[in-house]
Amino acid sequence: MSISAWSTTASQNGGRLVSGNYLEQQSPSTLNDAGRSVMSQIRSWANDLEWFEFGTGSNTTSYTRVSATSVSMPTNCVDQFHVNRRVKIKDGSGATVYGRVTSSAFNSPNTVLVFEFDSGSLGSGNPTSVAYGIVSATNTSLPSVVPTGTILMTGVATADSGYLICDGTAYSRTSYSALFTKIGTAFGNGDGSSTFNVPNLQSKFPMGKGSSHNIGDSNGSFTQTPTGTNSAQTFTGNAFTPSGSVSVAVNNHSLTTSQMPSHNHSMTIAGGGSSAFYIHPIYGSSFAQGDVNGSVSSYPFITMPSAVIGNTGGGGGHNHGASGSFSGSAITPTGAVSASTFTGNTIDITNPYLALNYQIKY
């Protein structure tokens, strides 16, 4: 028996000590033994003050194994064994297991407790001790080591005891009332009535809340496709008039006979053509001066060749001077740069990373 089995009822004073009795009207010689037994049990209880065993002082503390993760007690103890409180249980086989309360419900005359153990489960037989931790998850004078709603990183695949993996799963608002009170529906409304969602940090980086980002906001992508547009540009110039003069100079050159075209100069004789003819030097009534008669051969004559004037010219140099000016019209250069759109390939903007699990305290 333990100190939790002591009774304040007179009729139940016997048989509660490890040795000896506290019976009504027992002899003084037995009181010393009983006192020493009480002191021994108090000492044993004080050696493990981290844990308390629930008791009423009326011999109502007993434990019945319901399943490998559940026990019942014939009293209302939901205030002591509330959800999330740590427990230490010695089962019917003598093994000690540690865990936390996940459900606590009183239905007169019993309280049914459901547990989640760090490892193992309840062995066969009824437990001999069910103790709760001195530090409560709620309503405690001691600060919580890890406040409900705290998110921690872990290197394991599953959540530690008292935590849930941050994967966006929906959980009962009743079973996880402490966490629901803290975060509400900031990370998801669940089914809208009985459940709520925990944060989903799978394949995401956390970012601090700010004026532009509220609790629960989620956005972004690991890959981006750069896009953009080059705005149209139009070139406009000022009018200008090209001006200037063009001068031309021709080099002097003396023409040679061979460079001249082939030509001659004929001379026409009065009274005849330009072919050979006869001149009769005898003048008389029959032949007037200048008369030509090639058919009279009996008279003396002089044969004259065709008359030709020879080449002429001094062969001197000459030049051709030239001058001129250029006059243009006013021109206004114009043009435009056509608009273009920049399209790039998708790029991965992820920083070097190491994947871990995020878990939230409930």
Long-range pairs for 206-210: beta carbons < 8 A, 24 or more residues apart: 206/151, 206/358
In order of their start, the domains of the chain are: 3-47 (no CATH), 64-133 (2.30.30), 146-222+350-362 (no CATH), 274-306 (no CATH)
List alpha helices for the chain, DSSP H: 28-46, 177-183
Give pLDDT, residue 246.
65
| Phi, psi angles (nearest 5°) of residue 21 | -140, 160
Q: 334 pairs with which residues across the strands? A: 236
Rounded to whole angstroms, the Cα distance separating 313 from 100 reads 138
Cβ proximity of 131 and 101 under 8 Å: no
Element at 302 (helix H, strand E): strand 302-304
Categorize the per-residue pLDDT at 69 as very low, low, confident or very high, splitting at 50, 70 and 90.
Answer: very high
Whole-angstrom CA distances from 80 to 67, 85, 87, 138 are 21, 8, 11, 10
The owner of tokens 């004078």 is 141
Categorize the per-residue pLDDT at 137 as very low, low, confident or very high, splitting at 50, 70 and 90.
Answer: low
Mean pLDDT of 31-44: 76
| Mean pLDDT for all residues in the chain | 77
> Which residue has better confidence, 272 or 194?
194
Q: Spell out where 68-166 has E strands.
A: 70-73, 86-90, 96-107, 110-117, 129-133, 151-154, 163-165
Give pLDDT, residue 296.
46
CA end-to-end distance (rounded Å), the chain: 35
pLDDT at 50 exceeding the cut of 90? no
Q: Coil, strand, or helix at residue 52?
A: strand
Sequence-distant (6+) residues with CB within 8 A of 324 are: 245, 246, 247, 248
Compute the CA torsion angle 161, 102, 152, 193 (nearest 10 deg): 150
Q: DSSP secondary-structure letter at 184? A: T
Categorize the per-residue pLDDT at 47 as very low, low, confident or very high, splitting at 50, 70 and 90.
Answer: confident
Distance of CA 228 to the CA centre of its chain: 17
Element at 64 (helix H, strand E): strand 64-67
Give pLDDT, residue 60.
63
pLDDT at 358 exceeding the cut of 80? yes
Cα-trace Rg, the chain: 65
Cβ proximity of 18 and 40 under 8 Å: yes
> Which residue has better confidence, 299 or 81?
81
Whole-angstrom CA distances from 26 to 1, 30, 34, 115, 226 are 21, 7, 10, 43, 94
- The DSSP line for 89-105 is EE-TTS-EEEEEEEEEE
61-65, 98-102, 218-222, 272-276: the lowest-pLDDT one: 272-276
For residue range 240-286, list pLDDT tens digits in order: 777 767 666 666 667 777 777 776 666 555 444 445 444 545 444 44
Report which listed range, 114-118, 146-150, 253-257, 307-311, is most confident: 114-118
Give pLDDT, residue 347.
86
Cβ proximity of 311 and 256 under 8 Å: no
- The model's pTM is 0.44
Mean pLDDT of 355-360: 94
